[in-house]
C-alpha cells in the first residue's frame, strides 16, 4: 500500500510539473492560455478570437485523463528505475 501511495504522489508531482513547465500564457498579447503536456486539456481564450468557442474557457477531460495517464507511466518508470538502481547497489 505504501508503494502505491508513493507512486500516486509522484504521479501528482510529475503532472503538476509537466503542466506548469509547458503552460503558455499569451493572454497579454491577445492570445490564449493553454495548459497540458503532451495533450492540451485547458484553453482560456483571450483578446480577439475568430475561431473560438462561445465559452471563454475550454476543458477537455479526455485529454486531461491522457495527461494523467502519461504522468502515471513516467512515475512508474521512475519508480522501477529507482528500485533497480537500489538493488544493483546491494
All three cell numbers of 76 = 512508474
Helix axes 61-89, 2-21, angle to 10 degrees: 120
- Give per-residue pLDDT as tens, 8-57: 999 999 999 999 999 988 777 777 888 998 889 998 887 666 666 677 78
Alpha-carbon distance values, 63 to 12, 16, 18 (Å): 16, 15, 14
Structure confidence at residue 63 as a pLDDT band (50, 70, 90): very high
Tell me what pLDDT residue 46 has.
Answer: 75
38: cis peptide before it, omega within 30°?
yes
pLDDT of residue 80: 94
- Predicted TM-score of the model (pTM): 0.81
pLDDT score for 52: 63
Amino acid at each position: 500500500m505504501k508503494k502505491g501511495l508513493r507512486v500516486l504522489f509522484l504521479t501528482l508531482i510529475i503532472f503538476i510539473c509537466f503542466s506548469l513547465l509547458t503552460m503558455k500564457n499569451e493572454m497579454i498579447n491577445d492570445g490564449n492560455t493553454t495548459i497540458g503536456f503532451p495533450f492540451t486539456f485547458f484553453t482560456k481564450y483571450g483578446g480577439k478570437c475568430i475561431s473560438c468557442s462561445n465559452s471563454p474557457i475550454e476543458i477537455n477531460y479526455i485529454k486531461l485523463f491522457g495527461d494523467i495517464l502519461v504522468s502515471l507511466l513516467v512515475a512508474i518508470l521512475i519508480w522501477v528505475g529507482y528500485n533497480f538502481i537500489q538493488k544493483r547497489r546491494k
